[in-house]
Chain A
Amino acid sequence: MSAVALPRQSSVQRGLVDAYNATRRYLIRGKRQPDIIFGSVLFPVIFVVLFGYVFGSSISVPGGNYHSYLMSGLFAQSTLFASSQVAVAVATDMNEGVIDRFKTLPIARSSILIGRSVSTIVLGLPALGVMILCALAVGWRPENGIFDAILGFLLIELFAFALSWLGILAGLIAKSSQAADVISSIPVFLLGFVSNVFVDTSKMPVWLRDFADWNPVSAVVAAGRNLFGNTIGPPPSGVWSLEHPEITTIGLALIIIVVFIPICVRRYSRTSR
């Protein structure tokens, strides 16, 4: 009876088309919320000024420039904040009727979530650009050349993509956007601050230092520093993740992606069922 014939496509093809359409929708929405983009661009500027100058004036790193040292940390930390924002956005989505409508459409269950995650990365690019400009302004330089620097940013974006799925899961579990904010903020602050983002971990008390050294965010920061050529001193001995930060980052991101995408999609399909 359908007057409009459904084009025959494989389910994979259809899934990709669905994910593309969902991403497109979130990008159009993103474009209509310039205040959010403005905020996301302003935030890293504030961070560079706040940590680079306010705290940075009293923090010194042995034999190096603190601003250069700090920037990889801030790049990595911004991915954490972005994942927290995803959590809030997903929780908000789930409480709106529009998700119900999507669920009554013959689309791949994963497409809306993929759209959310990919669009988050894309909409975060202006903020990353501004942050790089700020970094250059305060004296950060990709010492290992442009190729390694691009590799560094790719690693950070891969980590951001993986983290966005943790944010999505938090948003799906939370009953409200406020709850999503709380659920996601706690790990974001713990992982973001108890790490090598701002300071060298060697001066921390032992128990805190162990946490900070093994903190996966520290590995991402270390990978960035390596690739940007901002590393100061050798990694703490016996901490495998900091001795091999690039492999750790890639491996961790892939594990999160492989494990959490199915969990999120399942959770999404079952919500309210």
Chain B
Amino acid sequence: MGSLMTDFAISAQHLARSFGETRALVDVSLDIPAGSVCALLGRNGAGKTTTVRILTTLLDPDGGHAQVAGFDIASQADRVRERIGVTGQTATMDELLTGHENLEIIGRFSHLGAAVSGQRADELLEQFDLVDAGTMLVKKYSGGMRRRLDLAASLIANPEVLFLDEPTTGLDPVARSEMWAAIRNLVARGTTVLLTTQYLDEADQLADTIVVVDRGLVVAEGTPEQLKASIGRPSVVVTLVDADQAALEKVRAALGTDAVIRGRSVSAPAADGLETLAAVVTRLEELGVPVHEVGLEHPSLDEVFSTVTHRLGDHSPDAPAAVPA
């Protein structure tokens, strides 16, 4: 079952969707290999949620088409629904039901039958550390617990493809890292995940590939490393044990004309990456200054993000700029 003509768990071509005058999606194409994690990264209103709603059969596109788990989202919507799990931005758990009842009902609606649904609910409560909360009404849950329950609910029928729409927005740092751990766990089991996020570190932490969307268009895509590499070269950073000005000057002179001093560190462009790093380490040994740390620093995804989303300016772009792999 599933992948009929493609190895992609999600394959979307030129999706477009407008709401009245607003063009929420202009042209979004995605190819997400089975078993990988793709992060759809963008600001509020970039078109992330619209993309997810189309791929999860909640919304019809005005243009383009897509297959999820090998089935067409328009003509085979029910086949798609049997194979996906969805955790939306808004809480979808019923406050008047307990955690266990919520999971069990989703299981029954997934046609697992009453017995299996109850059993799966028990397993998932355990997996998501909600055993004690299982008999509690959801209205008494904390924000983090609700998100975990929501995620658990989307896993009840062991979906092939999981959609997570901003899974950690609004969570405190502890709940956020718990959520990350839960998502990593799933990925380890081979589930294909499409997650949307406005947090770069989240995309960097969780995703194999990142697709940057802005104003309804794909503006960049690639692995986190490719995206970073596309923006600039890494730099080598030497941090000394203390801010001894004379020692810092020595190091700066050794690292070349582009080197700059920041606090007790000196950084310089590493044109040849690791080779540059190796050369720098050798030079530092010769200099004999007390070094605390030496390393390569890549440009942050923040820089990537602001570069690709601003490169387009205010005028409407005519073609998505893909980052060469």
Contacts and interface: CB of A to CB of B under 8 A. Distances in A.
Contacts of B158: 1-4
A106 to B, nearest CB: 4
Contacts of A103: 57-58
B100 to A, nearest CB: 12
B83 A2 contact: yes
A246 interface: no
Interface residues of A, number: 31
Nearest to B77: A106
A98 B94 contact: yes
Interface stretch (B103-111, B217-225, B270-278): B103-111
Contacts of A1: 1-2, 69, 83, 158, 160
Q: Which among A29, A97, A101 has the greatest number of chain B C-beta atoms within 10 A?
A: A101
B108 A273 contact: no
Contacts of A105: 81, 106, 109-110
Contacts of A22: 109
B88 interface: yes
A21 interface: yes
B179 to A, nearest CB: 17
22 contacts: A1-B160, A2-B158, A2-B159, A4-B158, A6-B82, A6-B111, A7-B111, A21-B109, A28-B96, A28-B101, A29-B94, A96-B92, A97-B88, A102-B109, A104-B81, A104-B86, A105-B109, A105-B110, A106-B78, A106-B81, A106-B82, A106-B111
A101 B88 contact: yes
Nearest to B84: A104
A2 B57 contact: no
B111 A97 contact: no
Given A1-B2, A97-B92, A106-B78, A273 B60 contact: yes
Interface of A: 1-4, 6-7, 9, 14, 17-18, 21-22, 24-25, 28-29, 32-33, 96-98, 100-107, 272-273
Contacts of A3: 158
Consensus secondary structure, chain B interface: loop
Contacts of B1: 1-2
B51 interface: no
A98 B92 contact: yes
Chain B contact-residue range equals 35 or more
Contacts of A24: 105
Interface in B118-166: 120, 137, 153, 157-160
A60 B108 CA distance: 55
A45 to B, nearest CB: 26
B112 interface: yes
Contacts of B287: none
B105 A17 contact: no
Contacts of B108: 17, 21
Interface string B160-203: 10000000000000000000000000000000000000000000
Nearest to B137: A32
Q: Which among B91, B105, B137, B160 has the greatest number of chain A C-beta atoms within 10 A?
A: B105
Nearest to B93: A98
B90 interface: yes
B160 to A, nearest CB: 5
A102 B81 CA distance: 10
Nearest to A101: B92
Contact of A104 (B57, B90, B91): B57
A106 B110 contact: yes
A103 B106 CA distance: 11
Given A25-B105, A32-B96, A98-B92, 13 more contacts: A1-B1, A1-B158, A1-B160, A4-B120, A6-B82, A24-B105, A29-B96, A96-B92, A97-B90, A100-B58, A103-B58, A106-B82, A272-B53
